Amino acid sequence: MSEWHVEWVPDPERWGPLPTAGVLGVRDLPGSVARIGLKPGDPVYVRPDGMVDTELLDFVRSPEFRNLERESKRNYGTDIRILLEFLWSRGVSWQKATEQDLADFRDWRCRAPENPQRIGGTKWNREAAAFTKLFKWGNVHPLPVDVSRREDRAADSVTARVSWLTPRTWGLWSDVGLRGHTRAGVAAPGWESRTEIRNTSFVQLLLSSGLRRQEGGSLLTFELPTQQLRHGRYLHGRIAGAVTRSKNTRTFYASMDSVGQVEAYVQSERAWAVQRAQEQGVYERLPVMRLVTKVTRGLKPKVEWVDASGVVGGQDLNLLSWHERQWLFLDGPDGPEPAWLWLTEQGLPMLPDRWNGVFRNANLRCEEVLLTEEERKIGRKFRLAEVRGKTPYATPHSARHSMALFMLILLNELFESRYGLTKKDRRDFAQLFGDPWWLVKTLLGHADVETTKRHYLAPVSHLHLESILAAAESADAGQDVEDVDGVFSRLARETVGIQDIDTLLEAAS
C-alpha cells in the first residue's frame, strides 16, 4: 500500500458477517471499536505502511470532531486524507506542516495546470475549515492554514455545481430519466422500473416544498403534510430540527398534487415492498427495532416506543436524527413496518445519500436518449457547452434551487398581476409582510436573505423585482401577455445556469 486510506465505522446493522477467527487478531471488532469510543460514521486513518494512525484516532474522538454532523465528518475526513497524502509524498507529517506546505497544497488543489481535478473556492474553503480544526486540535504553531484569515479563504466561493431547471424541463428530465420515455414521449420498449412511483414522487415533493435531500429523505409516514391551507392548493407540515442544517424546526409547504403522488406511492410500491419484507422475515432479523407505541402532536411532538428487549423509550420528535429515525417501526396490519417513508425494494429505509444514485442514473438515461453515440463517448467534464446543453442535468439540490426560482417569479407575478398593486402599494405591502425575496427566504428556512439571493437565486439576483416580468406586461391593448413558462424561457436565454426545454430542443436540433 502506497497511499493513505480511510475506513468508515459502519452502523451496527451494517457490519455484515465477520470471520469467526476475528479481523487482524480481534475477535469482536464491533465491540472493540465501540469500546475505544468510535461512533458509526467516524473515519479511521490507515497510513501507507498499513498501520492505523492512533493520533488521528484521538482527533476523531475529540469534542472538536465528534460534535460534527455525520455528513460533515465524512466531508472533513475525506478532505484531511487528501492533505495527508500530499504531505506524505513530501516526507512531512501533519504535525510538522508549515504555511509553505499548505500554500503549495492550495496551489496544487486550486490552480496547478497539471492537476486535472482542480477545485473551486467553495470546496477549498471547506477543506481549509477541516485543516484548521485538525491543526488547532494538534497545537500546530504557527497555524499552517486558518480559515478565519482572509488570505486563507477563497474569494470565488459561490458553488459552480448549482443548476436551475424550469418546470417544463423537470418534466422532460423526469419523463426520460425516471419514467424511461423516448424522444417521442412514450415508454421505451422493455423499460421496467419497480421504483418509478417512488422516485418521481420524491422529486415532485422536493420541487414543491424546497426541502433538502436529508430533510425530505428522512420523513416519517406520519409527518406527511395533512393540514390544508384555506382556499389553497398547498398543505403544510413541520420538518424536525434534528434533520435540518440549522437545527431549527420549521414549517414547510407542499402542493396537494405532490402529496397525492407520495400517498399513491405509499399505497402501491411501498406497500408491496413492506409485504415482501414481512413475508421474508427481513424485519425480524434487524439488530435494532423500536416499535412506536404513541405519537403526540402539538408544538413539541413526542414519539414513544418499546424495543425488542422490552425497554421503553421516548424522545422529542424534533430531536430525532435521521439515523435514529430508521429504527422506528409501526404496528401494521400484518406486523411491524418501517415508519420511514422512503423504502428500498427490500423494504428497508432508503438512506438520504442513496438518492444521489437515483439522480445520477436519471442523468445518464437522459444522456443516452438525448445525445448521439459520438457525443456520449466524451466525458461530461470535457464536453463542449453546446453538447452539455442538449440534455438536462439535475441533482437533489437542484430541486431546491429550482423551487426558489419558481416561487420568486410566481410571487412577483402575484404582486404585479393578481393584486394590481402600484409601486407605492408594493412598498407598503413589503414593509408589512416582506417582498418576494423575503418570502422565498422564509420558505427555504434561511436566516439571511443574502444567502437566498447569492446562492439560490443568482440568475436573477441582479434584476430588480419589477423587471423580472417586464416583458410579461402588455404595452398595447392587442399585445400578447407572456405567461410564466414564457418568463422562464426568456430568463434561460438571458442568464447563465437555467436549463429550459426550449433551449435544450434548440441545441439538439
Helix/strand/coil (H/E/C) assignment for every residue in 61-106? HCHHHHCCCHHHHHHHHHHHHHHHHHHHHCCCCHHHCCHHHHHHHH
For the chain, give the percent of residues with pLDDT over 70. 78
pLDDT at 273: 96
Q: Poorest-confidence range of 39-53, 125-139, 146-160, 181-195?
A: 146-160
Chain-centre distance of CA 4, in angstroms? 28
C-alpha cell recorded at residue 231? 382556499
Asked whether the beta carbons of 110 and 118 are under 8 A apart, the reply is yes
pLDDT at 476: 44
pLDDT at 11: 83
Q: How far is CA 144 from CA 105, 135, 138, 245, 269, in A?
A: 11, 8, 12, 29, 53
Over residues 133-171, the pLDDT tens digits come to 999 999 999 999 999 999 998 876 554 456 788 888 999
Kind and range of the H or E element at 400? helix 396-413
Asked whether the beta carbons of 503 and 163 are under 8 A apart, the reply is no
pLDDT above 50: residue 325:
yes
pTM for the predicted model, two decimal places? 0.76
C-alpha cell recorded at residue 305? 416506543
Amino acid type, 272: W
Most confidently modeled range among 8-22, 122-136, 487-501: 122-136
DSSP annotation of 48 reads: T
d(CA 245, CA 224): 20
Q: What is the mean pLDDT of residues 424-450?
A: 63
Confidence of residue 464 (pLDDT cuts 50, 70, 90): very low
d(CA 146, CA 131): 8
d(CA 199, CA 153): 38
Q: Poorest-confidence range of 110-119, 174-183, 341-350, 492-501?
A: 492-501
Confidence of residue 30 (pLDDT cuts 50, 70, 90): confident
Q: Poorest-confidence range of 40-49, 166-175, 236-245, 381-390?
A: 381-390
pLDDT at 466: 43
pLDDT above 70: residue 260:
yes
Asked whether the beta carbons of 277 and 344 are under 8 A apart, the reply is no
pLDDT above 70: residue 284:
yes
pLDDT above 70: residue 17:
yes
- Count of alpha carbons within 13 angstroms of residue 278, beta-carbon side: 16
pLDDT above 50: residue 473:
no
**Residues 6 or more apart whose Cβ sits within 8 Å of residue 500:** 165, 166, 168, 169, 488, 489, 491, 492, 493
pLDDT above 50: residue 251:
yes
Phi and psi at 92, nearest 5°, equal: -120, 130
Over residues 59-108, the pLDDT tens digits come to 999 999 998 888 889 999 999 999 999 999 999 999 999 999 999 999 99
Q: What is the mean pLDDT of residues 302-318?
A: 94
Q: Poorest-confidence range of 15-24, 280-289, 416-425?
A: 416-425
Pairing of β 328-332 and β 335-338: antiparallel
pLDDT above 70: residue 494:
no
Asked whether the beta carbons of 501 and 492 are under 8 A apart, the reply is no
Confidence of residue 460 (pLDDT cuts 50, 70, 90): low
d(CA 251, CA 225): 10
- Count of alpha carbons within 13 angstroms of residue 212, beta-carbon side: 18
Question: Going along 270-364, which residue ranges are E strands?
Answer: 290-296, 302-307, 312-316, 328-332, 335-338
pLDDT above 60: residue 270:
yes
DSSP annotation of 285 reads: G
Over residues 383-420, the pLDDT tens digits come to 656 666 688 999 998 898 888 888 777 776 666 555 55
- Residue that the C-alpha cell 400484518 belongs to: 334
Q: What is the mean pLDDT of residues 212-233?
A: 87
pLDDT above 80: residue 20:
no
> Which comes out higher in pLDDT, residue 158 or 348?
348
pLDDT at 428: 53
- Residue that the C-alpha cell 408544538 belongs to: 299
Pairing of β 227-228 and β 164-165: unpaired
- Residue that the C-alpha cell 497555524 belongs to: 143
Which residue(s) pair with 52 in the sheet?
46
d(CA 449, CA 466): 18
